[in-house]
Structure 1
Amino acid sequence: MNPLPWEGHWYGWRLDQEAYGETWDSGMGSKLKGGRWNAPGRRVVYASVDPSSAILEVAANNSFDALDREPYVLTCFEVIRDARVKVVQPEEVPNPYWLSPAWPSPNQQRFADALLDEHPFVLIPSAATRHSWNLLVSCDLAEGQFKMVSQERFGLDTRLLREVTLA
């Protein structure tokens, strides 16, 4: 069982290109292209439960170099206290390979789409960093149940850009 990192308050963190900072809560990217946990056509906001995991998720899909080259914003939002959050433990995922950094399967997307049909928020283990969590927000069901806390320009620690040399 993966321990949850907080008590009482639910927060989500996103890292977006600055050009999309104002639309952080729209879910339009996932609607157009789909994602690891949704098929195209569904608006889902992908977030992490801590800023470090949000940064790793974006770097895993782009690169640290992209985070250094383009302007990004880091957004924190809060889920209202009485919102329904479905927690999906690793052993509840039908195929454990879905939690690895592989391309999503249609069955994986259908599994999560069914959860997002019933729950405005779904907490699921991260594929980018095994002991962290991602928070999926069903834009249709979660309307009015989450709000921005802060948004700031993001700066990457350039030590993450060091080239790896093998001895």
Structure 2
Amino acid sequence: MIVYRLSKGLYKQDLSGRGAELVGGRWNSKGTAMVYTCESRALCTTEIAVHTPLGIVPFDYWLITIEVPDALPCYDLPQDQLPADWKAFPHPNATQLLGDSFAREGKFVTMKVPSAVVHGDHNYLLNPRHPEFSQVKVLDFEPFPFDERLFIK
């Protein structure tokens, strides 16, 4: 499986999950390492856009192409396990607990979750502490210029 990630240049080769571990996110609490990826470049772009104030064009971003071998275990989070407010902003603690459990249990390298930003698309959470995570590879990284029209007030 190929997944994508947009990252600042300094972190373009970093798959440690340290950033998410430091600040937490929709699918993990502070203290839980997690690598957030998307199923498409377009979803990556949208995910950055919703977290960027209007009028500010993000710069120094890189598109990272990541290969997760198909043989590695992936958990597809069932829709009926999502809390009713799973895509609320700010995100609920319940989604963080789901991601924390995924990481702590260590049964799967990836967890497929729905995007809160684009209905019908998915994010893939990677567990950098899984024993087989070393098989996950960065295939490529390239500068990613954003279209300024996405950020106009």
1:122 and 1:135 in contact (8 A); partners too: yes
Give the gaps of 5 or more residues in structure 1: 1-9
Q: Percent identity?
A: 24
Counterpart of 2:11? 20
Over aligned residues, Cα RMSD in angstroms? 1.7
Change (3 A) 1:107 1:162: closer
2:55 and 2:152 in contact (8 A); partners too: no
1:101 and 1:128 in contact (8 A); partners too: no
The TM-score, its normalising length taken from structure 2, stands at 0.88
Counterpart residue type for residue 49 of structure 1: E
| Greater RCO (Cα-Cα under 8 Å, separation 6 or more) | 2
**Higher fraction of helix:** 1
Residue 22 of structure 1: how far off its partner (Å) = 2.9
Counterpart residue type for residue 132 of structure 1: D
1:18 and 1:73 in contact (8 A); partners too: yes
Counterpart of 1:151? 141
Counterpart residue type for residue 22 of structure 1: Q
2:111 and 2:124 in contact (8 A); partners too: yes
Q: Which residue of 74, 83, 92 maps to 1:105?
A: 92
The TM-score, its normalising length taken from structure 1, stands at 0.81
Change (3 A) 1:162 1:125: same
Change (3 A) 1:133 1:113: same
- The higher radius of gyration belongs to 1
Give the gaps of 5 or more residues in structure 2: none
